[in-house]
Structure 1
């Protein structure tokens, strides 16, 4: 008797090809992506369409997209096991986004916290900055995604995605899988070394407080040596104490890199200098090989583009089916002998 193959759950994550990726991106997302491809049907998007909701350089966007692809492959994302795809390479993202805009409400979009934060103090706010959660919903739903690993600041967008998917299914028939958010537990939020009350971010202008994945070994060591600690002169892991945020951040970084608990790591140190040195050693050991492989991959543009073409073909196969089902459900007249998105 022929056995039916069990469908693996599908996981989807995305990253903008802007700014320089940081240690926070690695520990909060990229390292988990590498593991997830072993257990799930994994799709990783380079979301260049989201990147143009604000002012940008076309040249930097184009080069940044290829550089981000090289970085993901250097980290260990396997183009044969995972689908790595540039968002604009799959036309169905934008096509399904319009259906999501027609499903979401003005009130739901206006309550998005990130829109309020990014538009604050701006004289000209692009309409896309307001509607991009609908595109994000399309990104997720287009691939019938089961799991979406996100930081706490993105939970609101996943809830909106679930809302519009459920509303669409109830109104027009069961088309979309309802996705679930997954929050990484350890070091999900790596903080700025200089200002440990703020998250380490690739959009931040504070270069001293950020450890970038392509920093040299010497740059990494200097930044960690200058990291803010506190006046207690005691290596202890204390949660939710703003006065101990600097030491807590170093302990969480070292613990995450070594797959241990921060409190356990703290018990091994008495001096801040020793903690900083051990943290620097661990960061250098993890990022050095990634940096070397990145530069090797980036030098072979033909290979990178070939791997992205594989991702585009796989993504298009799934996306075209989902879009056709959504268009049919909503009542569009299908063109004869053609797939939507062709």
Structure 2
């Protein structure tokens, strides 16, 4: 029996992914790949919606792919590839854009938020059509399920609408995907500003735990994390955001329940708790960092893996695109 197909991806937006990416996406992908025919992409075309330094984008793309593998995404079990290595993504996005309403695309919350923030002149057409490219990413592979957070659910709903519209107009062509809201995952906050989401764009690097950080550096960041004056290790997001954030990280990486961690550190103070968390983080990420750096030190091997996986993705995508071209009436090249 064939496994249902799953698609997901992340942009190559920094030299290193951060712990929020690991907990919120990679850990779940690693688990899902055993039950699904999974396609995981480094979506570098999406990254072009903001200005990029070409050399840096290439390096970020390579580093992101290496971290996927190091975190446990198996290229022999899943299809792990770079989006731009499969040209059908851009080609299908154009076809889908011709059946997407201007108002429909303009209602996407992320576009409205970013265009309001940066202004019309600084907002690219690429950002406007970003959800259409995302729809192409998903539909190319006849995807059954798409694991998403709440912030991307609207884009998957547009994907479903476009699939149904195309199927109605041209005949059954696309699988209509189902968005699967990822099981409740920890939202990870900045270590120095625990009311703000941990982000690559944080004002201070001291608040961000990077997957490729030196272990000693990660431990130091945790020991210096903002807490409060109470001295009690207990979860209270409103009153104790710093301690609650550290408890969330501890629970996510160990699989333990927060009350059990609270009990373990009852009466022991923040120093012991932070030391314990630092040990957990170092133990989790030291092998991930080591494997990622090993891959980056052998670019020929990493390129081989990505090329092999892109060929597998291409084979699936080309079948879909060929069917789409026939359906819409494009003349085949002799």
Tell me if 1:323 matches 2:326.
no
The match for 1:132 among 123, 126, 130 is 130
Relative to the length of structure 2, the TM-score reads 0.93
The match for 2:264 among 268, 284, 288 is 268
**Which residue is 2:118 aligned to?**
121
| 1:253 CA drift (Å) | 0.8
Tell me if 1:182 matches 2:180.
yes
The match for 2:36 among 13, 30, 40 is 40
Answer whether contact 1:151 1:188 (CA < 8 A) is retained: no
The match for 1:89 among 77, 85, 106 is 85
- Residues 190 and 44 (structure 1), Cα distance of their counterparts in 2 relative to 1, 3 Å cut: same
| 1:101 CA drift (Å) | 1.1
SS in 2 for 1:212: coil
Segment of structure 1 superposing worse, 267-276 or 58-67: 267-276
* 1:56-95 paired onto structure 2 within 5 Å: 56-95=52-91
SS in 1 for 2:146: strand
What is the RMSD of the two structures over their aligned residues, measured on CA atoms? 1.6
**Which residue is 2:245 aligned to?**
249
| 1:83 CA drift (Å) | 0.8
| 1:330 CA drift (Å) | 2.2
Answer whether contact 1:47 1:87 (CA < 8 A) is retained: yes
Segment of structure 1 superposing worse, 184-193 or 46-55: 184-193
**Which residue is 1:340 aligned to?**
none
**Aligned partners of 1:203, 1:306: CA distance in 2, in Å?**
32
Answer whether contact 1:43 1:82 (CA < 8 A) is retained: yes
**Aligned partners of 1:229, 1:187: CA distance in 2, in Å?**
22
- Unaligned runs of 5+ residues in structure 1 are 1-5, 337-342
Relative to the length of structure 1, the TM-score reads 0.91
SS in 2 for 1:234: coil
Answer whether contact 1:15 1:47 (CA < 8 A) is retained: yes
| 1:186 CA drift (Å) | 4.6
- Residues 73 and 116 (structure 1), Cα distance of their counterparts in 2 relative to 1, 3 Å cut: same
**Aligned partners of 1:205, 1:99: CA distance in 2, in Å?**
40
**Which residue is 1:7 aligned to?**
2
**Aligned partners of 2:240, 2:86: CA distance in 1, in Å?**
46
**Aligned partners of 1:188, 1:164: CA distance in 2, in Å?**
32
**Which residue is 1:16 aligned to?**
11
**Which residue is 1:106 aligned to?**
102
Answer whether contact 1:186 1:256 (CA < 8 A) is retained: no
**Aligned partners of 1:299, 1:188: CA distance in 2, in Å?**
32
**Aligned partners of 1:203, 1:112: CA distance in 2, in Å?**
23
| 1:205 CA drift (Å) | 4.2
**Aligned partners of 1:9, 1:83: CA distance in 2, in Å?**
14
The match for 1:222 among 215, 220, 223 is 220
SS in 2 for 1:32: helix
**Aligned partners of 2:118, 2:92: CA distance in 1, in Å?**
31
| 1:264 CA drift (Å) | 2.8
- Unaligned runs of 5+ residues in structure 2 are none
- Residues 74 and 115 (structure 1), Cα distance of their counterparts in 2 relative to 1, 3 Å cut: same
- Residues 272 and 185 (structure 1), Cα distance of their counterparts in 2 relative to 1, 3 Å cut: farther
| 1:43 CA drift (Å) | 0.8
Figure out how many residues of one structure are paired with residues of the other and give that number: 329
